[in-house]
Amino acid sequence: MTAPTAGRRWFRRAWPWLKYAIGLALAGVAIWALTGRTGELSGASSYLSHLRWWWLILAVAGEAGSLVAFALIQRRLLEAGDVEMSTGRLTAVTLAATAIANSMPAGPVVSSVFAFGQYRRGGADEALSGWTLAAVFVDASVTLALVAAAGVTVAGAEGAGLDLVGVTVAVLIGTIALGAVFLQRRALVWLVSRTVRASRRLVGWPRGELAVHVERIITQLTVVSLSARQVLSVVGWGVANWILDCACLALSFLAIGAGIPWRGLLLAYGAGQLAANLPITPGGLGVVEGSLTIALVTFGGAETSTVAAVFLYRILSFWAELPVGWAAWGVLVWSGRRVAVPVRFPDGVVTGAVAQVEMVSRGDGVAGGDGVVNRTVSWEEQ
């Protein structure tokens, strides 16, 4: 093995952990650049020690509402494929997937596998589960671009001074085009097929059985179509997801007794969330804090109070969701250990036979759905 090849392999293994270090470093640099002195950090901590609890409760409610709105996006998409899952269960799936994505190496990939498995447990087939994951991504991207564009409009000339207009407009046009392609099912199949082929040529992935599954899902992408009413519902809940999360940020200012920089709030929030989606750090750790704080200070927020408000917002929207999300993951995995499914034999389904399938998760203990290593099956004639 040549030295460059060994170096690349080491980097690929180390990168998931390096992202955490980079995120923490960026957060530290952002705080240092804005405060400069330990005294001002003490000032920020003093804000947090005198919280206005009624505003804090409303901030928590706003963040909870954001999670429920995201769950409703998934529910509406699954309903388009004639699968019913409760809002409560999908909210738990959202919490668990968010915790996985924000706290594990390769978290977004693992969280997608987890959500896929939960959709399958809820009755969706492979095609609908894969389509739902893709549709959620498209909806979140389009609605975030709409929110960021609204922020540029509200900010006016001050927003233009931050050189965000061109970037936001480009992102908006790109995401709307992506949404249009997604709704045009033939174009979607063509785009996904081309992407998979390019990935296979460049990185050799997917191959083997996984490639067979991917090809089958691609050919089945046309089984789901959304009506105009369903599209409006999904987009509406997508916008609600971002607006409620932004409301949590605004209420964090009130919770520490500081004024809200209204003119730049939506623009700063949109820019921060766009930055969080860059594959640099898990959950945008460091990137969100830095971009939010710098943008809000530019629009008139006091440095010390802005640092405190952003820190409180990230406690509620990032750190607090980790233990709650992992608890939700535990409940979902435990409740799904034993499920009843029809038993199919080579000559067909045995009438009245029910299998109790106990799922034994992978070694990483996260997938909790499909792709399990062992299945202990017992069946009885009813």
pLDDT of residue 256: 92
Identify the weakest region by mean pLDDT among 48-52, 106-110, 327-331, 369-373. 369-373
Q: Please give the pLDDT value at position 375.
A: 37
Higher pLDDT, 20 or 270: 270
Look at residue 5 and tell me if it is in a domain: no
Whole domain around residue 32: which residue ranges? 11-333
| End residue of a domain, out of 333, 349, 367 | 333
**Are 129 and 52 found together in one domain?**
yes
What average pLDDT does the segment 265-284 reach?
75
More confident residue, 334 or 95: 95
Do 114 and 150 sit in the same domain of this protein? Answer: yes
301 in the same domain as 240: yes
In a shared domain, residues 291 and 364: no
User: Higher-confidence residue: 343 or 309?
Assistant: 309
The reply to whether 252 and 361 lie within a common domain is no
- 181, 103: one domain: yes
For residue range 11-29, list pLDDT tens digits in order. 666 655 665 565 556 555 5
**Higher pLDDT pick, 18 / 130:** 130
Please indicate, yes or no, if residue 28 is contained in any of the structural domains. Answer: yes
pLDDT per position as a tens digit, 35-48: 444 444 455 566 67
Lowest pLDDT segment from 72-76, 88-92, 219-223, 226-230: 219-223
Q: Is residue 3 part of a domain?
A: no
**Residue 54 in domain:** yes
pLDDT of residue 206: 73
What's residue 24's pLDDT?
55
**Picking from 138-152, 295-309, 313-327, which range would have the lowest pLDDT averaged per residue?**
295-309
Residue 380: which pLDDT band, with cuts at 50, 70 and 90? very low
Tell whether 366 and 298 lie within a shared domain: no
Confidence of residue 362 (pLDDT cuts 50, 70, 90): very low
Same-domain check for residues 341 and 264: no
Instruction: State whether 299 and 329 are in the same domain.
Output: yes
In a domain, 2, yes or no: no
- Number of domains comprising the chain: 2
pLDDT at 178: 73
Both 201 and 214 in a single domain? yes
Confidence of residue 283 (pLDDT cuts 50, 70, 90): low
- What's this model's pTM, rounded to 2 decimal places? 0.72
Q: Do 234 and 360 belong together in one domain?
A: no
Residue 6 within any structural domain of the chain: no
- The predicted pLDDT at position 61 comes to 97
Q: Is 180 contained in some domain?
A: yes
pLDDT band at 49 (very low <50, low <70, confident <90, very high): confident
Same domain, 213 and 353: no
Q: Is residue 125 domain-resident?
A: yes
Residue type, 367: A
Query: Regarding predicted confidence, which is higher, 68 or 201?
Result: 68
- When pLDDT is cut at 50, 70 and 90, the band that residue 381 belongs to is very low
Residue 193: is its pLDDT beyond 60?
Answer: yes
Cβ count within 10 A of residue 218:
18
